[in-house]
Amino acid sequence: MHTMKNNNLWVGVLLAILLAACGNEQREESMAGNDTANEIRVTDDELVGNPFMEEWDTPYGVPPFARIEARHYMPAMKKGILELRAEIAAITDNPEAPSFENTILALEIDGELLGNVSATFFNIAGTETNDDIQALQSVLSPMLTREFDAITMNDMLFKRVQAVYAEKDSLGLDEQDARLLELRYRSFIRAGAALDPDIKKQVAELNAEISGLTTQFGLNLLAATKAFKLKITDEAQTAGLSDDYKASVWNEDEGAWVIGLNRSAYETFMTQSEVRELRQQLFDAYRLRASSGDTDNGPLAIKVATLRAKRAELMGYESHAHYQLETRMAKTPAGAEDFLLRVWRPGLARAKTELADMQALVGDEFKLAGHDWWHYAEKVRKARFDLNENELMPYFSLDEVRAGAFEMANRLFGVSFEPVDVAGWNPVVTSYDVKDADGSHLGLFMMDMYARDSKRGGAWMSSYRSASNIDGEVIRPIVTNNLNLSTPPKGEPTLMRFNEVETLFHEFGHGLHGLLTKIDYPMFSGVDGPRDYTEFPAQILEHWAAEPEMLAIFARHYKTGDVIPQELVERMRVAANFNNGFSTTEYIAASLLDLRWHMLSSEEAAQIKDARAFEEEVLRGYGLIDEIEPRYRSQYFSHIFAGGYSAGYYAYLWSEILDADGFAAFKQAENIFDPATAARLKKWVYQSGGLREADELYRNFRGQDPNIEPLLKGRGFEVRE
């Protein structure tokens, strides 16, 4: 029998804060009952038949998804909160002197039920939401935030943590115990535990308000995204669209081709469609999401930025960005901005050249606009490199790409993936028993690859259970990967664009980071680390996706089974940096926008009247050209206003320093599966979690500090000192 264990308080609360994402704007406040922040009640009758009150006799201890209903979450969450409060009281009321075991370790194992419920709820809220789940989100996120604040600002508890920390050098702790103590003490300090009581009260109030606002941001975004459908009934209006794409978006009930706003369907349409008016219609719908009416996120973005700045000021920081970056590799907002601008300048210059090339192709017929970029970039690429996506996609079927990713992991790290029959949250979910080179069980890996209205957009990794090894009880993780591919017609394969192939490899890297961990404590096992480091284990695997040796493994034509021709691989290689000016510029524009939102003082943020006007002023100041939109506009920038990337979206590019330099180690070894290099990568990156500071972990793998030159060269930019 397997039971879902050891998703302790801290894991659950972080899921609540970081994954509180998506739904619509409907609420049912009555579901909150009459509870105040301190009055949490639940009766035995409310818990009868509740799956969270039982041991789960399910394969690998996965939640019994078919049995869990929306009505089960609130009572179970309340029960978990009450159990946690009792566990915290047992620590603070302990008459014995504070010790590592009775304070630090006790905190690490507390909150089991609450962690289980919150992990399940917030994962389901992102992948299989409904009106009831969305209503609960608006209540549960602030509730859990209040509980987190009540713990980190508990004076008696903090004094015990502080007392243990003061004796850290004389306790004889091993490396993992010492790291747990360090990180636990740091988490209390950064949450405001050492502040004056009146300041702590204000910070707690701000936390609750921010939690509610960020949850609403995500709800608005999903509602706005779901509300738009481009319907085409005239076949002449499908000019340029491939047969495979047309089949994937055909809706029999509507008697029309229906295109929504999930990124996969959107980019494919923008690339293929010959109908400029329809491209503009879809482009405007995408970039103007959640910017008007009841789902307008502009005022919410301003309010969130204002409150975050106010909270940072109360805690003694110049801005929210200064607070966030203190423990990250960039250290300061200026450090992050300076780095971005080093890549922005050559990227923007390249983008202007790309624009000129496309305008030359168009001639005087019209002035190229943002909704033309994907389409004419593809035409230029075909003309220049004799390469187009329709030629490539038949070689990238989901089944083969996934098998290729598994084979890569096996050759690098000795791990294997065995398909297993496990009931997931949706019938499309596939599950795999992951084993290490010695045959030992590493975890369960669950993949949810398809877009649907009940699922938030984007691609991400998460987990239902964290890894741990406390007092000899080995608990292995349940890890998930999520993409939003278009569902193919029944009986047809899922064909992928190459950037979607890279996304699968990217999220698989996050998955391996969670699965391979050898850390005993959930607090810093798996994907733990600063945001500008934790993208590195994901991004480095993207390099393998384009390697000829790797393509020979998984790039097979879905009809003939033939391996992708070498001459086509060579054309892919030559064209690899094509349109890199655009992709670099749109990404860094969003990163700079994120920083600027979070470098504001509370007074400056409060004075903003229009989010789009602020956005345009910022981007104009950096020189962004009109034909390129930032990858995310403020109103749908869920990474920073409904997720965990505030003042941290730059992290993907920062991590690219690490992944480009790290992959260079394999190239220098003249073997992309070099055993010695792969062993260091496995030990110091995928297995080590947050065992040490990020720069030390990287040096232990690479043998040196990272160099930015491979990043610039990889993007095809000139390296200048």
For residue 289, give the 3-state DSSP assignment.
coil
Q: What is the pLDDT of residue 383?
A: 92
The residue among 707 and 555 whose pLDDT is bigger is 555
Are 89 and 234 contained in the same domain? no
Last residue of a domain, one of 288, 308, 328: 288
Task: Establish if 463 belongs to a structural domain.
Answer: no
Q: Say whether pLDDT at 110 is over 70.
A: yes
Q: What is the pLDDT of residue 388?
A: 85
Are 283 and 186 contained in the same domain? no
Q: Per-residue pLDDT tens for 279-314?
A: 999 999 999 999 999 999 999 999 999 999 999 999
Q: Per-residue pLDDT tens for 346-384?
A: 999 999 999 999 999 999 999 999 999 999 999 999 999
Q: What is the pLDDT of residue 2?
A: 30
Residue 442 CA: distances (Å) to CA of 23, 63, 123, 353, 719: 33, 18, 21, 48, 42
Q: What is the pLDDT of residue 462?
A: 96
Are 189 and 279 contained in the same domain? no
Are 126 and 183 contained in the same domain? yes
Are 169 and 252 contained in the same domain? no
Strand partners, 465: 478
Average of pLDDT values for 9-21?
A: 41
Task: Establish if 271 belongs to a structural domain.
Answer: yes
Last residue of a domain, one of 288, 314, 338: 288
Give the span between the Cα atoms of 127 and 410, in whole angstroms: 28
Are 148 and 234 contained in the same domain? no
Are 82 and 128 contained in the same domain? yes
Q: Looking at 16-20, 417-421, 469-473, which range is the least confident one?
A: 16-20
Average of pLDDT values for 95-104?
A: 98
Are 144 and 284 contained in the same domain? no
Q: What is the pLDDT of residue 8?
A: 52
Task: Establish if 351 belongs to a structural domain.
Answer: no
Q: What is the pLDDT of residue 1?
A: 30
Average of pLDDT values for 691-717?
A: 93
Q: Say whether pLDDT at 174 is over 50.
A: yes
Give me the domain span that covers residue 238.
Answer: 229-288
Of residues 112, 147, 507, 615, which has the active-site annotation?
507
Q: What is the pLDDT of residue 38?
A: 64
Task: Establish if 2 belongs to a structural domain.
Answer: no
Task: Establish if 110 belongs to a structural domain.
Answer: yes
How, if at all, do strands 256-259 and 230-232 pair?
Answer: antiparallel
DSSP codes joined into one string, 471-526: TTEEE--EEEEEEEEPPPPTTS--B--HHHHHHHHHHHHHHHHHHS---SSGGGST
The question of whether 28 is a catalytic residue gets the answer no
Q: What is the pLDDT of residue 32?
A: 32
Task: Establish if 22 belongs to a structural domain.
Answer: yes
Give the span between the Cα atoms of 457 and 260, in whole angstroms: 11
Q: What is the pLDDT of residue 264?
A: 85
Q: What is the pLDDT of residue 11?
A: 43
pTM of the full structure: 0.88
Angle at 24 between CA 508 and CA 287, to 5 degrees: 70
Q: Say whether pLDDT at 5 is over 70.
A: no
Q: Per-residue pLDDT tens for 377-404?
A: 999 999 999 988 889 999 999 999 999 9
Number of domains in the chain: 2
Q: Per-residue pLDDT tens for 199-217?
A: 999 999 999 999 999 999 9
Per the CB < 8 A criterion, the answer to whether 193 and 152 are in contact is: yes
* Domain CATH for 14: 1.10.1370.40
Strands (E), 591-656: none
- Give the pLDDT band (50/70/90) at residue 39: confident
Place of tokens 């979607």: 500
Q: Per-residue pLDDT tens for 537-570?
A: 999 999 999 999 999 999 999 999 999 999 999 9
Q: What is the pLDDT of residue 142?
A: 87
For residue 291, give the 3-state DSSP assignment.
coil
Are 109 and 252 contained in the same domain? no
Q: Say whether pLDDT at 37 is over 80.
A: no
Give the span between the Cα atoms of 49 and 109, in whole angstroms: 26
Are 171 and 253 contained in the same domain? no
Q: What is the pLDDT of residue 719?
A: 59
Q: What is the pLDDT of residue 27?
A: 26
Last residue of a domain, one of 238, 273, 288: 288
Residue type, 204: A
Instruction: Give the torsion through C-alpha atoms of 595, 601, 602, 604, to 10 deg.
Output: -90
Task: Establish if 118 belongs to a structural domain.
Answer: yes
Task: Establish if 111 belongs to a structural domain.
Answer: yes
Q: What percent of the chain has pLDDT over 90?
A: 88
What's the mean pLDDT when you consider all of the chain? Answer: 92
Are 52 and 164 contained in the same domain? yes
Strand partners, 473: 470
Are 26 and 170 contained in the same domain? yes
Average of pLDDT values for 75-84?
A: 96
Average of pLDDT values for 492-499?
A: 94
Q: What percent of the chain has pLDDT over 70?
A: 94
